[in-house]
Structure 1
Amino acid sequence: MPTVTRRAAVLGHPIAHSLSPTLHTAAYQALGLEGWQYTAVDTTTETLRDVLDDLDLGWAGLSLTMPLKQTVIPMLDDVDPVASATGAVNTVVVRPSSCGIALGGYNTDVQGLVAALTEGLRGREVARAVVLGAGATAASAVAALAQLGCASPRVLARSIARTAGLQEAARRLGATPRFEVLDAVSALGPLRHADVVISTLPAHAADPVAGILLERAGSVPGVLLDVVYDPRPTALARAWGERGGVVVGGERMLLHQAAEQVRLMTGRPAPVAAMDAALGAVLGVTR
């Protein structure tokens, strides 16, 4: 009997650096899904519509990177409530419909953040939290913190004028964050007293905060999750660890959000241990 081929892919630009193929391929192998293939497809906001139009029932789904997470929403047949509230879809599932196929949108970043933070918290409650940055990932961070019991985090953004989207997402989520301008010096107080800090800033954007932590901070008691995993560790993660805080690498979020994508696309529980081992082999990490 010929092997049935199912396809999935991560879309973005540039995309060659993505670790998603490593994670999904490891999952397919562990699940014994012969003929399943996961690739990286260079896609821009201008070419996304063409990629979606070429999908058929041979496809299981897609993983999306920014800015496609927002661009894709009006192109979908339905969007899950979490993705709708955060305004970001990082997962598209292809399923049969009376018209051929239907495309459903999901946000697995939220579950990835919750699972990764839970590893670092080890049962501790989250009363005070800080989010660095105000982009699409920050909306997922606010949603994750609400699930962990903190619906009123402090959001430190480089520009308050650019927080309108996050403020609207917070309203949809029923969260009430406090927005402040991100300044490395004034951020010290909130960071030193936070149970959880999530940095959603791009690579190196948090370096000034890391410098101030090393120069002026005493110990920090909380858990830091920096979503950046290249470079790894980030300057902020190194500084946080040197000040005694618990560091959760961005690769942990990546692992857990990919595990939920596998479940959505295959209909089977994700083999997290196998995916974790494959990720560790690529990153040179032993757990």
Structure 2
Amino acid sequence: MNLTALLNFYPLEALGSFWSDFMSTSSGSDTLFRLYGFPVLHSASPPFHNLIFDLQGQGRHYSTFSTSKIIPDMLKELHSDVFGGCSVTMPIKGAIIPYLDDIEPESKATGAVNTIVKVPAQPESGGIKLIGTNTDILGVKNALLRSLRLQHSGENISSQDRYPPGAGSAVVYGGGATSRSAIYALSSMGLHPIYVVNRDADEVKQVQNIFPELVSRGSLIHLRTPQEVEEHVVQSNPILMVVGAIPAVKPVTMEERMVYTVASHIFNMPYDPPSSYNPSGVTGLLPLPSKRLFLEMAYKPRITPMLKVAAAHGWEPIEGIEAMIEQGYAQQRMWAAGNASATIGSDPSILGTFIERMARDLVLSMEDVIVKEVEVDLAAEMQAAPLVETPSPTFRILPTRK
């Protein structure tokens, strides 16, 4: 039963707390899950996560906490017995890192944490650790893999599969935090090189500084003009995937218009996947897309100008909301398993097909969240909380819950 059928069978008034609790406060006895950042009241995360929690029936609740800094009240929640896990958004994705026990490789590579997971510590300590990770990477990767699976429905495509050397390359439009997540995701799929289309050379340099290993082997190349596309791309591995990570606004300056010119040039490049790509049937290899994939990370509006350009040139368009859904799945899987690894975050068996389908239907059916009140930054008049240098049982390591 999809969401529409559910709501037709059970009117909203009859669903009671099942529906109204999506955006309401916790009962007080629930395990607490949060979205920390500012602003956050516009987020679709509370209805998404609370639907999953309600379907699981485990007494968990997800709500927002508006803060632009790491403040003491936030830390008290993170280290309380009722805390179950959280999402972290701007402007504190980087600021939260020193307050955690450890971070996963995805956060180390991108310098950002958007998810905190309570993970059991060593058995002898009898406690837990707060581990940070970046599920935005899995949002990108798993949205691309989902589209690839739809193209190759008869194949068993694993999240661990990769492209072999020389199979294909990728492009990222942009240079901010989302671009870094996209670069990490595409590299983890075996795509090489990765081209970065950006009008700002300094911004690209900052991205390259984060990925020195990719730069050292010539796998992170800045493209600014159609001429550079011809110089670097035509004789290289075919472009299989593109991720757009720029705002969906009309380009105004000449430099901004050039990004769209370069994008159109890339979208217009011919593509003819070989029929004998993997004749020996080697396992663990990703299949070539029958239509090249374009993932647009911007999702307001849902259909962006860049998405239209890609589709018009024969690319498979993937809306940004798909990446948002996939990173939400990854968070839920990690919280449920008490494990922040990317492998756990990509395992659909943890939540199950029904719950994931219901959550997807909810998000796809939602309109933008209308904020009907002035959002107050709880950290507006406060200093950031001090760091604790040495872990202590009362602050860094909590006893296990009974």
- Please show how residues 132-281 of structure 1 align to structure 2 within 5 Å: 132-171=173-212, 176-180=218-222, 182=224, 194-204=239-249, 208=257, 209-210=259-260, 218=268, 222-267=292-337, 269-270=350-351, 271-281=355-365
User: Of 61, 81, 87, which residue of structure 1 is paired with 2:105?
Assistant: 81
Normalized per residue, which structure has more strand?
Answer: 1
Distance 1:187 1:36 in 2: 52
Cα 1:211/1:158, change in 2 over 3 Å: closer
Amino acid at match of 2:142: A
Task: Point out where structure 1 has 5 or more consecutive residues left out of the alignment.
Answer: none
Distance 1:254 1:102 in 2: 26
Partner of 1:68: 92
Deviation at 1:96? 6.5
TM-score by length of structure 2 reads 0.61
Deviation at 1:254? 0.7
Distance 1:191 1:16 in 2: 43
Are the equivalent residues in 2 in contact too, given 1:191–1:220 (CA < 8 A)? Answer: no
Distance 2:269 2:133 in 1: 38
Deviation at 1:100? 7.0
Normalized per residue, which structure has more helix?
Answer: 1
Are the equivalent residues in 1 in contact too, given 2:113–2:132 (CA < 8 A)? Answer: yes
Distance 1:201 1:57 in 2: 40
**RMSD value over aligned CA atoms?**
3.3
Amino acid at match of 1:139: R
Amino acid at match of 1:112: G
Are the equivalent residues in 2 in contact too, given 1:57–1:101 (CA < 8 A)? Answer: no
Deviation at 1:241? 1.3
Percent identity of paired positions between Structure 1 and Structure 2: 28
Distance 2:221 2:141 in 1: 22
Deviation readout 1:172-194 (Å, 9 max, x if unpaired): 678753332545x5687689963
Are the equivalent residues in 1 in contact too, given 2:195–2:223 (CA < 8 A)? Answer: no
Deviation at 1:113? 1.1
Task: Point out where structure 2 has 5 or more consecutive residues left out of the alignment.
Answer: 1-26, 158-162, 272-291, 338-348, 369-402
121-130 vs 58-67, which moves further: 121-130
Count how many residue pairs are aligned between Structure 1 and Structure 2: 280
Cα 1:49/1:201, change in 2 over 3 Å: farther
SS at the partner of 1:143? helix
Are the equivalent residues in 2 in contact too, given 1:142–1:175 (CA < 8 A)? Answer: no
- Please show how residues 24-173 of structure 1 align to structure 2 within 5 Å: 24-33=49-58, 35-44=59-68, 46-48=69-71, 50-55=73-78, 56-95=80-119, 102-121=129-148, 122-123=151-152, 127-171=168-212
Distance 2:37 2:224 in 1: 28
**Which protein, 1 or 2, shows the higher relative CO under an 8 Å CA cutoff with sep ≥ 6?**
2
**Bigger Rg, structure 1 or 2:** 2
194-203 vs 160-169, which moves further: 160-169
